[in-house]
Amino acid sequence: MSKGTTVAAAAGAMFLVGTLAAVSGLIKDYPLYGGQTVRYAVAALIMFVIMKMSSRPMAHLTVKDFGLLVALALTGLVLFNVCVVESTRGAGPALVGTMLATVPLVMAVVTTRRPRPRLVVAAGIVVAGALLATGLGEGGAGALSWALGAVACEVCFSLLALPLLPKLGAVGVTAWSVALAVPLLAVTGLAVDGAAFLRVPTVPEALGFAYLASVVTCGAFFLWYTALPRLGPGRAGLFAGVIPVGAITTGTLIGLGLPSGAELAGAAIVVGGIVVGLLPDRPVRVGVVHVLADRPDQHEDQGAHDDDDTHDSDGDDESSCHDSSRVQV
């Protein structure tokens, strides 16, 4: 996969995640955790069918692999949804959106011991653009805590998948993570809503779930897990800034209103930050001049060599004279 294709995959994945905000209006009246259970169950079915049809052999899961997958499903999918919902209830969507905008900076800092200055600067630019696009929000300490939890879960969504991708591939990691999220979400739904956490969806709700399961879950997860190991978590994290761009664009296309000047400016800043982060580092070229020290006897040898040359020259002159005398005779 070329670098351009990898960049397009990462940007496309986060753009599709951004469309979630606009499409979620179709399922806003459906029980939350029941809806997420349906979404991930359908996505798991799709991904396992794709995995069965692919030529990649089925990998054997070790205890460590299974533990990582459970942790990925629990943090990156289940707890992430819980944190977003609880933060939104306490402060509206702006606060959690603002906190999630810091994901590029967090990824740039936590993934390496000594983050490259260019990457940190680029992450700061992306964060600033996302904050401008989403607003600063408001809320108390409880809502802020839930929002910070959502940030941690979003980071886990990438970092926990990295050791699994070489063995399972993007399709396998997506299939197993969403499948394991289903029972966890079902238990959460039963605890919160009881038996009412599931019901037969209406036609618009069914269409919304179909889009979320096939496009936002299968499509976005696959693209993200394809690009993540190629870009590395630091650079890949920059593309989280594309999420508000996807939300703004989708809202405009489906008639939810035109974006404001701040939203457009924020989107432009986000793109600029991503470009800065993807620029190649210029290697520092240092010229090295090797000076060979003279050996102690080098000058003596040279002098002796010159003397030999002088003696040889004198000998040649004498022989020339003898030769010329013979010629004259």
pLDDT at 322 over 50: no
At position 255, the amino acid (one-letter code) is: G
According to the model, what pLDDT value does residue 256 have? 61
Secondary structure of 144-166 in the HEC alphabet? Answer: HHHHHHHHHHHHHHHHCCCCCHH
Contacts of 72 (CB under 8 A, 6+ apart): 156, 157, 160, 161, 164, 173, 177, 180
Q: At what angle do helices 63-72 and 141-159 cross, to 10 degrees?
A: 140
Tokens for 153, please give them.
Answer: 């879960």
Q: How far apart are CA 316 and CA 325, in angstroms?
A: 14
d(CA 37, CA 193): 13
- Region label for 280, one of left (φ > 0), alpha (ψ between -120 and 50) or beta (otherwise): beta
Dig out the tokens for 208 from the structure.
Answer: 């919304």
**Better pLDDT: 133 or 327:** 133
Model pTM greater than 0.85?
no
| Token code pair at residue 150 | 């959502």
The pLDDT score that the predictor gives to residue 161 is 94
Predicted pLDDT of residue 307: 55
Query: Other C-beta atoms within 10 Å of 135: how many?
Result: 18
CA dihedral of residues 172, 173, 179, 183 (deg, nearest 10):
150
For 127-141, how does the pLDDT look when each residue is reduced to its tens digit (9 = 90+)?
A: 787 777 666 555 677
Q: Report the mean per-residue pLDDT for the chain.
A: 79
Containing H/E element for 249? Answer: helix 242-253
Instruction: Please report where in the chains the tokens 């396998």 appear, as a residue.
Output: 172
Greater pLDDT, 210 or 22: 210
pLDDT at 299: 52
pLDDT at 213: 93
Residues 198 and 267: their CA atoms lie apart, in Å, by 37
pLDDT average, residue stretch 134-158: 79
Residue range 270-274: mean pLDDT, rounded: 77
- Which two three-digit tokens encode residue 300? 């003596």
Largest Cα–Cα separation, the chain: 135
Kindly tell me the burial class for residue 215, based on how many C-beta atoms sit within 10 Å of its own C-beta (0-12, 13-18, 19 or more): middle
**Counts for the chain of helices (H) and strands (E), in that order:** 16, 0
Q: How far apart are CA 8 and CA 12, in angstroms?
A: 6
pLDDT score at 144: 76
Banded pLDDT at 266 (limits 50, 70, 90): confident
Nearest-angstrom CA–CA distance, 165 and 162: 6
Q: What average pLDDT does the segment 306-310 reach?
A: 53
Q: Both tokens of residue 185?
A: 């979400």
- By residue count, the chain amounts to 329
Q: What Cα–Cα distance (Å) separates residue 66 from each residue in 60, 61, 170, 292?
A: 10, 6, 16, 61
- Please report which confidence band the pLDDT of residue 168 belongs to, taking 50, 70 and 90 as the band edges: very high
Of 5, 18, 56, 64, the closest CA to residue 175 belongs to 56
Least confident of 127-141, 147-161, 290-304: 290-304
Amino acid at 124: G
Per-residue pLDDT, 311 = 52
pLDDT in tens, 216-235: 899 999 999 999 999 888 78
Residue 169's nearest CA partner among 222, 220, 216, 214 is: 222
